[in-house]
Each structure stands twice: as C-alpha cells, then as structure tokens.
Amino acid sequence: MEEQQNENQLNIELSEEIAEGIFSNLAIITHSNTEFVLDFIRVMPGVPKAKVKSRIILTPEHAKRLLHAMQDNIEK
C-alpha cells in the first residue's frame, strides 16, 4: 500500500519568482476543440491599454478539472 502511494506522489518545485505570483483583475478565455487559452491581464484605472501578464494553455480535460477544483474551493 505504501509503495503505491509513493508512485502517486509528485514533487513540485516553486521558484521564488513564480511564488511571488502575478496580480490579474481580468481574465479572457478562448478555446478550440483541442485547447483552452486563459489570458490573465492587469487593467489599470485611467490607462486605455493593458498587457497580458500570463497565459495558460490547457487541454479540455484539464480545463474541466480546473473548473471543478475552482467550484469546490469556492463552495468551501
């Protein structure tokens, strides 16, 4: 049983730069049959232009898993 648990473990590394995170107050989601693209943008008041700060590309299956995980966490 313990051996099976070790096979399912994943060590995830988080660099200091990534750990700081990026603030976003707008997300734009586009998709095709094979991928979902999530663009995270920071819009500043009074500034007519905004840049995409981060882009995440997901398969439809991973997009569904993210949706369910987000719903579960919001309900808590």
Alpha helical stretches, state H, 9-59 = 16-20
Strands (E), 1-76: 26-31, 36-41, 52-58
Res. 19: pLDDT tops 90: yes
Confidence tier at 4 by pLDDT (50, 70, 90): low
C-alpha to C-alpha distance for 21 and 76, rounded to whole angstroms: 23
Confidence tier at 7 by pLDDT (50, 70, 90): confident
Model pLDDT, residue 73: 98
Break the chain into its structural domains and give their ranges: 23-75
C-alpha to C-alpha distance for 30 and 60, rounded to whole angstroms: 11
Model pLDDT, residue 8: 84
pTM for the predicted model, two decimal places:
0.79
